[in-house]
A and B are shown apart, each in its own frame.
Chain A
Amino acid sequence: MNNKQNKVQQETHNDLLRKRFYFSDWLAKVLIKTIAFISFLSIILIFVFVFREALPIFSYEEVKSAYTEEELEQETYGEENVTIQSPQKSENKSSVLNSSSEQNKSIWENIFSTVWEPISSQPKYGIIPLVLGSFKVTLIAILIAAPIGILSALFTSTFAPKWAKEILKPAIEILAGFPSVVIGFFALIVMATFFQNIFGYQYRLNAFVGGVAMSLAVIPIIFTVTEDSLSAIPKSYIEASLALGAEKWQTALFVVLPAATPGIFAAVLLGIGRAFGETMIVLMATGNAALISPSIFEPVRTMSATIGAEMAEVVFGELHYNILFLLGSILFIFTFTLNAIAEFYVRNKLLKKFGGEK
């Protein structure tokens, strides 16, 4: 009797526990999963479509080389058939051949040269000054932003009294919320004149002004990531150091900071990525002259600024258009690599270090 009751109970139980198939549930899952793939898909699409528009540069060469082969064949025909005029003609043809092979070579030579003059009768697409310009501005920005960002993050996480923290954190968020065009505007109007009065340089807009302005955009990133990694350090580290008689600043300098090195490294990498790709600030504040110069007070033109300034006026499908996309591809690859390093290497290292403690 009792047994039977138990059995019935068991059965209803099983019935309740059995997973039933709900169509709406299944549909929701499928839809949600599909839509979640949009982020992944868009990364792929960005890859494909930015590179696709840069591709004609590569085939540009191929078309030209096919042309040379044709010329070559024609020339041999010419030598066989024509008897009297042959010297003159072959001279002509060899000059044609020379010029075409020059062009053929020159597309890459042109790109890796040091003159950027896309709008002239003989356009020169040397991207070297642009690449160097990007690195120059990025370097200046990081040299300013990294110390300030890291030190103030250290201040916030170790020394700062509570009221200072409550001012600093929202302040950083405010700085992060400044549209880059506003920072660019401020640099263009105020900073340029301000620094010119101090340093007395010739050109109002130059790499230095751009770099300083850029550091304002980079500081929030470096600060936030550094602060995160500083606060991820287990309390036991700090307590152990303090218990051994170390001062607060000694703990901060010799325990907290070294332990957070991978995080700080990531912060700087992300900062570099941001500075490298930032457009509006450099477009407005660096003077945009494609010069190669060791001086930081000379105007520069960065890759991003070049795209921003020239893309709107360029004819679709022209070589210039493709080369601007090539610049975009370089920017994309560079920032992608930096992000990937920051993501995998640093995160794994951090996890390994503190994984057991959390």
Chain B
Amino acid sequence: MKLKKYLLGLSIKSLTAISAALILLIIFFIMSNIVSGGWRQITWEFLSTAPKEGMTEGGIFPAIFGTFLLVVIMSIFSVPIGTISAIYLTEYASSNSIVARFIRFSVNTLAGVPAIVFGLFGLGFFIQFVGKGMDNLFYGGVELRWGQPNILWASLTMALLTLPVVIVSVEEAIKAVPKELREASLALGATKWQTIRKVVLPNSLIGILTGGILAVSRGAGEVAPILFTGAAYFLPYLPSSLSDQFMELGYHIYIMSTQSPDVEATRGIQYATTLVLLLLTFTLNFSAIFLRYKLRTIKSKTG
């Protein structure tokens, strides 16, 4: 009986430990596979030149540039909106008010909407509704400029997708600002808005930064929303205006590994592109983890 109990306990313990180890093993396996498959390809030339010979040779610079542009435009929208929404949720709304609950529910829902549905929304709303509307307004519907996939609509779609990421981490940061600081500021005669601007926001800068970084990492990694809102297979030039299409790292991986005429021949490029994307998201995620860790230690010191 005792032995049976002991064995049962041991098996449960080892089962949980094995599944944890399995996760680590898988991560290690994926990383080592992609690093070993791609690192030899990554040269300065690969990073700084455009694809050549029908995308079977050359570099991925346009894709890197497109990804960069995408996340910058995306952040311009999602970081301020996310921050302000977080300010509302933490500073203005009482947690039980219906409005606040609605907004919170929307944020959670937004976080759960599949990426491809965001893509559909981008197509249905931004391109077909707003874009076509703008074309009709400015060009009388003759010229097709905004009513087609481009980097602005892709970035806006991505901004919506990453909005919950920003809101959640900024909220966490604002909540970490000690109550005493706010009270001190209010007691000195500052208004609520002054308190937020001069006390709360400066103290939650790290959190806003973390939110921004996480959003960028998420945005750089998602491909589904841009499949039909602006990403292009190949472009001979870099996007120069908001109504241009663009190349993107994740989309490049997808295209190269599934649609390319000779998939085997470009294996090296695929691996190298994947490695670049992985390094990019890793660097971003690690800095976000580090910043959040720092934020938590600050919090535990002050409060």
Any A CB within 8 A of the CB of B139:
no
Asked if A250 and B9 make an inter-chain contact with CB atoms under 8 angstroms apart, the answer reads yes
Contact yes or no, A24 B250, CB < 8 A: no
Residue B193, interface by CB 8 Å? yes
B76-111: which have CB < 8 Å to A? 81, 84-85, 87-89, 92-93, 102-103, 105-110
- Given A148-B22, A164-B20, A186-B30, A325 contacting B124 (CB threshold 8 A): yes
Mark interface residues in B181-195 (1 if CB within 8 Å of A CB, else 0).
Answer: 000000000011110
CB <8 Å contact, A28 and B128: no
Asked, given contacts A279-B116, A335-B112, whether A179 binds B258 with beta carbons under 8 Å apart, the answer is no
Q: Are A332 and B113 in contact (CB under 8 A)?
A: yes
B281 contacts partner chain A, Cβ-Cβ < 8 Å? yes
Q: What string of 1s and 0s marks CB contacts (under 8 Å) between B32-50 and chain A?
A: 0110000000000000000
Counting chain B CB atoms within 10 Å of each CB, the highest count among A50, A156, A273 belongs to: A50
Known contacts A33-B88, A219-B23; A155/B289 CB under 8 A? no
| B120 CB–A CB distance under 8 Å | yes
In Å, the complex CA distance between A164 and B13 comes to 14
A58 lies within 8 A of chain B by Cβ: no
Q: Is A159 an interface position by the 8 A CB rule? A: yes
User: What size tier do the contact residues of chain B reach?
Assistant: 35 or more
- In the assembled complex, A277 has its CB within 8 A of some CB on chain B: yes
- Give the docked Cα–Cα distance between A332 and B97 (Å): 27
* Chain A CB within 8 A of B69 CB: no
Q: Does A356 contact B (CB under 8 A)?
A: no
Q: How far is the CB of A23 from chain B (nearest CB, A)?
A: 10
A181-B30 CB under 8 A given contacts A28-B193, A148-B23, A188-B258: no
B237 proximal to A (CB < 8 A): no
**B-facing mask of A38-76, CB < 8 A → 1, else 0?**
111011011001101100000000000000000000000
Name the segment of B56-64, B172-180, B215-223 touching the other chain.
Answer: B215-223
Contact A182 B116 (CB under 8 A): no
Chain B 233-272 interface 0/1 with A at a Cβ cutoff of 8 Å (1 = within): 0000000000000000011011001100000000100100
* Contact B227 A25, beta carbon cutoff 8 Å: no
Q: How far is the CA of A265 from the CA of B120 in the complex (A)?
A: 29
Q: List 21 A-B contacts (CB under 8 A).
A: A22-B193, A36-B89, A49-B124, A49-B129, A152-B16, A155-B19, A164-B20, A167-B24, A168-B24, A180-B223, A182-B278, A189-B257, A223-B23, A247-B5, A278-B115, A280-B254, A312-B228, A325-B124, A332-B114, A335-B113, A340-B109
